Amino acid sequence: MNDPYRIGSGDTAPADPSGTPVRRPSAKQGGAVLRAGLWILLMISAVVNVIANNLGDGVSPLGLGAGGVAAACIVGLIVHHYNRRKA
């Protein structure tokens, strides 16, 4: 039975005038590019952090910046994970 007011799984919208259900995009779709970009940026900033802090005679500004970027990437990946998990 085709009931446009039925509360269902949420993956289809009410039928259009022709009677066929319209597929609604899921909240869990997409985001792969963002996640991949965060992982790549995390790896690059971690390598820069290690190299910059081991080449100098102390903590370098470049190493501090790269460490900050790495920490921000980690936070971004965690937030992205929990947002996709709840949706």
Q: Is residue 36 included in any domain, yes or no? A: yes
Q: Is residue 65 included in any domain, yes or no? A: yes
Q: Is residue 63 included in any domain, yes or no? A: yes
Q: Give me Rg for the CA atoms of the chain.
A: 22
Q: Is residue 39 included in any domain, yes or no? A: yes
pLDDT reading at 24 higher than 60: no
Domain count, the chain: 1
Q: For residue 52, give every residue at least 6 positions away whose Cβ sits within 8 Å of its Cβ, in sequence order, or none.
A: 60, 62, 63, 66
Who has greater pLDDT, 35 or 5?
Answer: 35
Q: Which residue range forms the structural domain that includes residue 51?
A: 27-86
pLDDT at res. 69: 97
pLDDT bracket for residue 29 (50, 70, 90): low
Q: Is residue 33 included in any domain, yes or no? A: yes
pLDDT reading at 9 higher than 70: no
